[in-house]
Structure 1
Amino acid sequence: MKQTLQTTLAFGCLAASTLLSQTALAHGYISQPASRSQQCALGANTGCGAIQWEPQSVEGPDRFPETGPADGEIASAGVSHFSELNTQTATRWTKTTVQTGSIDISWHFTANHSSRDFRYFLTKPGWNPNQPLERASFDLDPFCVVDGNNERPPVDLTHECYLPENRSGYHVLLGVWDVGDTVNSFYQVVDIVIDGDNTGPSWTDVGDIHPSTDLNPGDVVRARVFDDVGEMPELAIAWTVDTPANGDSQVWPQKLAETINADSTQLRAGVLNNGTITPAPGRNDVFVEAGSAITRVETEIVTDEPEPVDFSLNGVMDRYEIVDGRAEVDFNLTSRQTLTITAELFDADNNRITGTQGTLNTSLDLGLTVENAQPGTYSLVVVAENENGGTAQQTRTLNLVDPNADQEYDFVYPKGLESYEGGTRVLARDGAVYECKPFPYEGWCRVYSDASPHYEPGYGSNWEDAWIRVAP
């Protein structure tokens, strides 16, 4: 009976592992009109946190609204490290102007997967855009439903839907992709401005002026114009930043839009509202009249680049021993330039532990003293800056170890991932040593990605299925 029970448990765990692996393989986002997470990846939304690197990963419980993420966490699908998406005000997010009536909603899948269905919801008339999104914000009867037929979609997929006509102004569109053979769905919120009906607007949006960065006097921003054949340089419009105030990221897009409107007979730039295009602080769109040969406009920023910084970081060891509660992290830097050096040490949770500064002229020996040192994996971050403001950074991973503890290991996780087998020992980010369980569990030790760290020792939600903590 004991052997039978163990086999059954092993089979159940393997099934759970398979399900998690399948879930991790399914990722996608709404690309048109660009979702809140995709606007973060594009730089149109700022202050987004981790979602800017993985807009495809907003995954949570399925079958909204009966279940799914909690009220106030709908935009992030309840994923804590995407919580920035849950902030909701009338002005927080970049919006896309659309019309009621026929609307194309496009998905891009970084890892497509069998699909149960796609459902689209819209905020109610009179919803409060300054309160966190909750079920009460939405009309819970989806305005568009597309059967997935339990088939894998292509990498890019477009659904033709019909946007309700009793909406205007700012609304949030919620798209839910229900994966066919897992218990999860992918959630995408899209910030839109509904501007009348779709009966043939006189203006076509062909580009964006994003408030991507602050600029300095002398920097140039240029609107580059293209048709189906290629670039049309004779139609380019440029504006040069004249004052520090006008180089602010919320100011220069408006200045470029004003210049476009003053100098071009074929382009208009600004914010479209009831047929009127007005330059405004922050993001501005670029328009042409319907039927124009111009197909797109790109914004180019030309800056004076600082002198490139070149330096070498030498002598960083893989491990430093802790002696009487203290560790000394010593290293050397060399360069042919005179550079200001800032060196900082961060633990596995990205907490700054200690730091130092120095001036590098040919060669510089530096050391960081870690008081009350704890075993674990750390990041040494060295930033060098020259007199012209140019910077360069180098980062090294190192481990602080207690020589008196049983710290023998084969790899620093996840190095050597493909070779892990039963009995393999790794040093994890928490400074502890973990041993891979034997067959039939050892396969889970090799399952890892940044987007799916379920089996990372000491950290992932399912690490105990794969690992045994052996020290300390």
Structure 2
Amino acid sequence: MRRLRAAMITAVLGATAIVAPVVLAPAASAHGWVTSPPSRQDNCATGAVSFDCGTLKYEPQSVEAPHGGTTCSGGSAYAILDDNSKPWPRTTVGSSVKIQWKLTANHATSTWEYFVDGKLHQTYDQGGAQPPKDISHTLTNLPAGNHTILARWNVADTVNSFYNCIDITVAGGGTTGGTTGGTTGGETGTTGGTTGGETGTTGGTTGGTPGTCTDAAWDTNAVYTGGTKVSLDGQVYEAKWWTKGEAPSAGAQWGPWKSLGAC
């Protein structure tokens, strides 16, 4: 009987030793990141980059470091985010853009800060409250051209923040067409002007007269979000939603583009 009792105790203790590590294993950390326009870590996670991001591709939500950082990594272990020599994908947007977050753990938050090329552009105050997991913010009055936005999510009840960099091209009036479209944008505008002049003379007031296009030329490799304007063959088009590689002039009424008329 004593031997049987000792054997049972040994079996129970052995089972406890096996089960205990599983029960006590800590849960994986989870936090959040910017998904639209895609942040650098989002592009790593979705395989949109042409290089290896290392373990970051599995942890886009975990770029966490102490408050006050001004780099894409915030000083975390994911230093690849700070390498501006990498061909990070760039999204074309308008002068206003909605920044969409995906929070896997919606920590109590003090503020959301957005820097454009290192300069604070806009701040959203959360007041220490817990945000929804699908929170988004709209940035306005973005300058034309190529820029990098640093989105900094400041947690209220820890010493850390979460860091995201978003590479964008802001399309619009002024010099945007030249910066974004390069030579192509200039050639498109000139062609539109010449053709439009001939059309106006022949058709009178019916067809109108396209002028020089100031909106960026449509690029088959660029990503466009809703509200972005582009020019193509002397015409201006506005994206209805996210699109890539679908020419505005080829779209029917159900396509991603709507025509705004001649430049």
Task: Name 1:93's counterpart in structure 2.
Answer: 88
Partner of 1:171: 147
Number of corresponding residues: 172
Q: In structure 1, give the amino acid aligned to 2:60.
A: P
Q: CA deviation at 1:295?
A: 5.4
TM-score by length of 2: 0.57
Correspondence for 2:76: 79
Match of 1:191 among 146, 152, 167: 167
How far did residue 26 of structure 1 move?
5.7
- Name 2:134's counterpart in structure 1: 156
Check the 8 A contact 2:63/2:163 in 1, yes or no: yes
Instruction: Give the Cα separation in 2 of the matches to 1:118 and 1:294.
Output: 35
Contiguous gaps of at least 5 residues in structure 2: 1-25, 174-218, 224-228, 234-242, 258-263
Gap change, CA 1:49 and 1:295, over 3 Å in 2: same
How far is 1:84 from its partner? Answer: 1.6
Q: 1:293 aligns with which of 235, 254, 262?
A: 254
Residue 8 of structure 2: aligned partner:
none
Tell whether 2:118 aligns with 1:119: no
Larger radius of gyration: 1
Post-superposition Cα deviations, 1:226-275, rounded to whole Å, max 9, x if no partner, equal xxxxxxxxxxxxxxxxxxxxxxxxxxxxxxxxxxxxxxxxxx83348963
Q: Classify 1:118/1:291 alpha carbon distance in 2 versus 1 (closer, same or farther; 3 Å).
A: farther
Give the 4+ runs in structure 1 shifted more than 4 A: none
| Distance change (3 Å), C-alpha of 1:292 and 1:182 | farther
Q: Against the structure 1 CA distance between its residues 79 and 108, is the aligned structure 2 distance closer, same or farther, given a 3 Å change threshold?
A: same
Q: Give the unaligned 5+ runs of structure 1.
A: 1-20, 124-137, 198-267, 278-283, 297-472
Q: Determine if the alignment matches structure 1 residue 52 to structure 2 residue 57.
A: yes
Q: What's 2:47 paired with?
A: 43
SS at 2:112's partner residue?
strand
The 3-state SS of whatever aligns with 1:181 is coil
Which residue of the partner structure matches residue 32 of structure 1? Answer: 36
How far did residue 122 of structure 1 move? 0.3
CA shift for structure 1 position 59:
0.4
Deviation at 1:294, TM superposition (A): 3.3
Q: Is 2:108–2:155's contact at 8 Å kept on the other side of the alignment?
A: yes
Residue 151 of structure 1: SS of its match in structure 2?
coil
Residue 112 of structure 1 and its aligned partner are, at CA, apart by 1.0
Cα distance in 2 for partners of 1:33, 1:291 equals 25
Greater strand content: 1
Give the helix-richer structure, 1 or 2: 2
* Alpha-carbon distance between aligned partners in 2 of 1:157 and 1:111, rounded to the nearest angstrom: 12
Q: What is the aligned counterpart of 1:275 among 226, 231, 249?
A: 231
Task: Give the RMSD, CA atoms, in angstroms.
Answer: 3.2
Aligned equivalent of 2:157: 181
Cα pair 2:29 2:62 within 8 Å, conserved: no
Q: How does 1:53-452 map to 2 (within 5 A)?
A: 53-62=58-67, 64=68, 68=69, 74-80=71-77, 82-89=78-85, 92-100=87-95, 102-123=96-117, 138-139=118-119, 142-165=120-143, 167-168=144-145, 170-197=146-173, 269-271=220-222, 275-276=231-232, 285-287=244-246, 289=248, 292-294=253-255
- 1-side partners of 2:230 and 2:97: how far apart? 18
1:200-237 CA-to-partner distances (Å, cap 9, x unmatched) read xxxxxxxxxxxxxxxxxxxxxxxxxxxxxxxxxxxxxx
Deviation of residue 53 (structure 1)? 0.5
Please tell me whether the aligned partners of residues 142 and 170 of structure 2 are also in contact (alpha carbons under 8 angstroms).
no
